[in-house]
Amino acid sequence: MKKQAYLFIGIFFLFIGTLFSQDFQGIAIYQTKQVVNLTMDSTKTDFSQQQAIQEMLQKQFEKVYELKFNKTESFYKEEEQLDKPEVSSGGLTITIAGDRSKLYKNTQTETFVNSRDLMGKQFLISDRMEKTDWKLENESKIIGNYTCYKATAVETYEDVEFKTGKKEVKTKNIIAWYTPEIPVTHGPDKYYGLPGLIMEMIVGKKMYLCNKLILNPEKKIEFEIPKKGKKVTQIEFDKISEKKQKEMIEKFSSGRKKGNGNTIEIKIGG
């Protein structure tokens, strides 16, 4: 009886060792949602119209992302979907653009390469990965078939205030749920560094939820390292982005003073 028990345990650990060997790969599909706060001129748009636009925007900000990963590498991009219609009311037109960014991360070298589109121009950001100061909490819950544990963090970032054009330092809270049952340090978007795959995460007003997971797919995953675009560091890209935001704010403010209708493009960055 003891021999049978030892044999079973030996086979079990051999199976686990094979499953999470150096060749271990997986694909995680994340559904994202984001709270959208829309402020409109109440003299030009009644409450019911504002509410309808708010609901339509909320649906259009729902995205689906794919994360391919092995023990040390990951590749994150938005899954292709049919173009969503514009939302319009009066002189205001809002276009929701897809996220064309492609993010490759290597946790062994702690570097990333990110292909980003900024107002029609392609950039290739290559830099060191930003570490998140995670705090592991004593809470757990089940997500799908996996036991997940809670981790929290606070992220500081700079933002350009749309009304004033001034730069402000802000913070957002992060709550992540990771599973040690999948022993990789990957997660959606730029996030990583927990002792298990991130299955669910709330970053400020944005939520990520893994609703599909494929471990060791039959077809071997090839990791695409982005190569197209103007090569810049993260700091250089942030400066260019800030400049473009200020130009857009000035253009928008000028249009409002002239009483023209305005078109605003809202884009979710990945």
**Structure confidence at residue 202 (pLDDT):** 97
Contact 130, 112 (CB under 8 A): no
Give me the half-sphere count of Cα atoms (radius 13 Å) on the Cβ side of residue 267: 17
Per-residue pLDDT averaged across 248-253, rounded? 72
**Structure confidence at residue 24 (pLDDT):** 93
> Rounded to an integer, what distance in angstroms lies between the CA atom of residue 29 and that of residue 244?
32
Per-residue pLDDT averaged across 21-47, rounded? 75
Domain limits of the chain? 24-267
Q: In the predicted model, what is the mean pLDDT of the chain? A: 81
Q: What residues are paired with 67 via a beta bridge?
A: 28, 76
Judged by average pLDDT, the poorest of 171-180, 186-195, 245-254 is 245-254
Contact 226, 113 (CB under 8 A): yes
Contact 113, 232 (CB under 8 A): no
Sequence-ordered alpha helix ranges (H) in the chain: 2-19, 47-60, 234-258
Give me the half-sphere count of Cα atoms (radius 13 Å) on the Cβ side of residue 59: 10
> Rounded to an integer, what distance in angstroms lies between the CA atom of residue 1 and that of residue 61?
58
Is pLDDT of 14 > 50? no
Per-residue pLDDT averaged across 178-200, rounded? 98
**Structure confidence at residue 83 (pLDDT):** 57
Is pLDDT of 74 > 50? yes
Token readout for 268 is: 């979710």
Label residue 2 by pLDDT band (50, 70, 90): very low
- Please tell me which residue, 53 or 94, carries the higher pLDDT value: 53
Is pLDDT of 262 > 80? no
Label residue 61 by pLDDT band (50, 70, 90): confident
Is pLDDT of 269 > 50? no
Sequence-ordered alpha helix ranges (H) in 20-79: 47-60
**Structure confidence at residue 45 (pLDDT):** 58
Token readout for 193 is: 């560094």
Would you call 175 helix, strand, or coil by DSSP?
strand
- Please tell me which residue, 16 or 206, carries the higher pLDDT value: 206
Q: Which residues contact 262 (CB under 8 A, 6 or more apart)?
A: 91, 92, 93, 252, 255, 256
- Write out pLDDT tens, residues 140-176: 999 999 999 999 999 998 877 666 667 788 899 999 9
**Structure confidence at residue 120 (pLDDT):** 86
